[in-house]
Structure 1
C-alpha cells in the first residue's frame, strides 16, 4: 500500500514545501536537514506496510496471527506431552523419573503398571520403542525391571502458522454449528493428542455419525485416544451427554495405515549412486503421501515419476511399481498412506 513512498519521493515532497527563496540543492542547509528526515519517514512507511500485513490472518504470523485468529475462537494448539504406559516389577511412587533416549518420563500414579508422562512436550515422547528399558533417576528399592509400554496419548508439537491459518480459514468459511460436520471435527480436535479428523454423516443410517481420527503427524490413533474422543463427543449413544446433540449416535475410530512400497528402475547421471539418490527422493515421496492423506483416495504412480525427474541426479526412469503393481494404489476413505520400502535399481 505504501510501497511508492520511497526515500526519493518523500525527500522531493519535503523539498517542494520549502519557503520561497530557500536553496534546496544537494549540499544546501535545507537539503541536508530534510534528507535524514526523509530517510526516517520512508522507513515508517515500510513499517506501516508490515503492520498492515499483520492485521490480516492470511499475511500475519507468530503472536500477531494468534491474536487475530483468537478473535474468531481459533487459538493455536500448544505442544502437549506424550503419555505412555510403563511396567515395573515393584510398586514405584508417583512422580518417579525415568530416562530413555534423551528424555525423561514421570510416573503419574503409584503402582507396577502405571501411566507416565514425558517431561518434554512434543512428538519426542512418541519415539522410544515399546518394551525399551527405563533408567531410574533415583534409587527405587528392589527395582529390577522397568519397561516403557504402549503409547496412550501421542505428544504433539506446537501448531505452526500454516496450520493455524488453515483452521482459521475453515472456521470463518465453514462455521461449526448445530452439529454439522465441521462441528464434529472441531469437537474431536479439542481432545489433546488428536491430529486430523474426517467425519462421515449417516454412515450407518439416520442419526449415525462416524468420526475418524489420527494422532499427530498423521499417525494411527491409539485405542486410548479413540476412547477419550468417544467419551468427549458421545459417551452414551444418542443421549446427548457429550458434545453431540440428542439423537446422534457417534462412532469414533482410528484411521488405518496403508503402507506404500516403491520399486524403481532408473538411469543415473554420471557420478551419482543409488544410496545417495535414495536419500534424496525419500523426503519428497513422504511429503507427497502426507499431502494426500484424508484428501484423496488414490496414490498416483505418475506423481512419483515427476519427483524423480525433478532431481538432477536422475536422467530417466523405466519402471515404477507401487506395492508390486505398475498402477495407482486405491485407498479407502479412512486410509493414511505412509512410505514403506524404497527399492532403487539402476537401469542396465
Structure 2
C-alpha cells in the first residue's frame, strides 16, 4: 500500500516544495534539514504497512491473529501433553502395579502415571507439553523408589503431544469456519467437535452411514496416523457418550460412532544416480523426510498416492541426479486410498 513512499520519493517531494532560487543541493542547509525528516517519515510508512497487515486475518500473525479472529470464538490450540502406554514388571517378569502419580524419566523428559489400564499397564502423561514427549519406546527409570519394580518400558504412543498451534494452522481453521460454517449438528460441526480433543489431527464425517440418525466420525491423531483406542474413546465420550441421548456435543437422536482411520502401508523402491560426494544412507534419510511431509499433507485429502509425485520428491531430494525403476508396493501404478484410509510409508529402499 505504501511501497511508493520511499526515502528518496519523500525527500524529492519535500525539496519540490522549496521555492526556486534557494540552494537545495545535497549538503546544503535545506537539504540537510529535510533529509532526516524524510528518513523518519519513510520509516513511519514502513511501520504503518506492518501495522495495517496486523489487522487482517490473511496477514496477521501471533497475538494479532488471535485478536483479529477472536470475534468468531476460535482460539489457538495450546500445546498438549503426550500420553504413553507403559508396562511394569517385577524381577520375576510378573506385571507390577505402581502408585498413581509415580514419576519416571525417559531420556531428558519426565512422565507420571495417570491411569491404570490393566494389571501392570498404565497410561503415562508427559510433564512437559509439546511434541517432544512423543517417544515411542525406551526403558523407564523411576525417579522415586517403587518397591518390587524391576523394570518399566514404553509400549506405545496413546495420544501424541502437540506443540502450540502455528499461525498458518489457526488461520486455515478460521478460513474453514467461514467457508464451511459448523452449526446445528451439520457434518462440519462433528469435524469441529472431534478436533477439539487434544491429539486429534483430522476427522472425516459420514452421515447416515448405518441408517437414519447415524453418524460415523473417523479420526487420525496429531501425526496424521491411525488413532489409538484411547484417543477414539476420548472423542466418543466428548461427542456422544450415551448414543442418541444428547449427553455429549451431538444433538438428541443422533447415534455417533467414532472410529480410527486405517493405515495403508506403501513401500517405495527405486534405483538412483547420486551426485558426486553423496552417500546413499543420508539420501535415503532425506527422501524419507520428504515422504513423511507428503504423507501428512495427503491424509484425508487425497484419494490415491501418486507415483509421479513420489518420483518428483525423489528428484527433489538433495544428492539425487536421476532415478529409474520406481515402484510403489512392488508395482508401477498409483496406490488408491479409501475414504477411511491414510497413507503410511513402510520400507524405503533405494539402490545405486
With normalisation by structure 2, the TM-score equals: 0.90
For residue 260 of structure 1, report the CA deviation from its aligned partner. 0.9
Match runs of 1:11-90 below 5 Å:
11-18=11-18, 22-88=22-88, 89=90
**Distance in structure 1 (CA, Å) of the matches to 2:244 and 2:114:** 33
The residue aligned with 2:93 is none
Q: How far apart, CA to CA, are the structure 1 residues paired with 2:276 and 2:99?
A: 62
- Report the counterpart of residue 232 of structure 2 in structure 1: 226
Shift of 1:280: 3.3
Q: 2:106 aligns with which of 93, 100, 107?
A: 100
Number of equivalenced pairs: 344
* 2:135–2:157 Cα contact (<8 Å) kept: no
Counterparts of 1:105 and 1:273, CA distance in 2: 38
Paired residue secondary structure (1:316): strand
Q: Is the CA contact (8 Å cut-off) linking 2:264 and 2:341 kept in structure 1? A: yes
Quote the offset at 1:23 in angstroms. 3.8
Residue 30 to residue 179, structure 1, CA distance change in 2 (3 Å): same
Determine whether 1:148 maps to 2:148.
no
Please provide the CA RMSD for this pair.
2.3
Whole-Å separation in 1 of the counterparts to 2:18 and 2:185: 67
Shift in Å, 1:271: 4.5
Alpha-carbon deviations, 1:180-231, whole Å to 9, x = none? Answer: 1111111111112211111111222221111111111212211111111111
Q: 1:180 aligns with which of 186, 199, 203?
A: 186
Cα distance in 1, alignment partners of residues 149 and 319 from structure 2:
54
Three-state SS of the structure 1 residue aligned to 2:185 is coil
Q: Which runs of 5+ in 1 are unaligned?
A: none
2:258 counterpart residue number? 252
Q: Which residue of 1 aligns with 2:130?
A: 122
Q: Per-residue displacement from partner, 1:140-165 (whole Å, max 9, x unpaired)?
A: 34433333344333211211111111
Alignment of 1:211 onto 2:217 = yes
TM-score normalised over the length of structure 1: 0.90
Structure 1 pair 20/115, CA: closer, same or farther in 2 (3 Å)?
A: same
**Deviations, residues 1-36 of structure 1 (Å, cap 9, x unaligned):** 011011112122333344686543322222211111
Cα distance in 1 for partners of 2:273, 2:87 equals: 51
Q: Mind listing any 5+ residue stretches in structure 2 that lack a counterpart?
A: 91-95
Instruction: Give the Cα separation in 1 of the matches to 2:279 and 2:259.
Output: 43
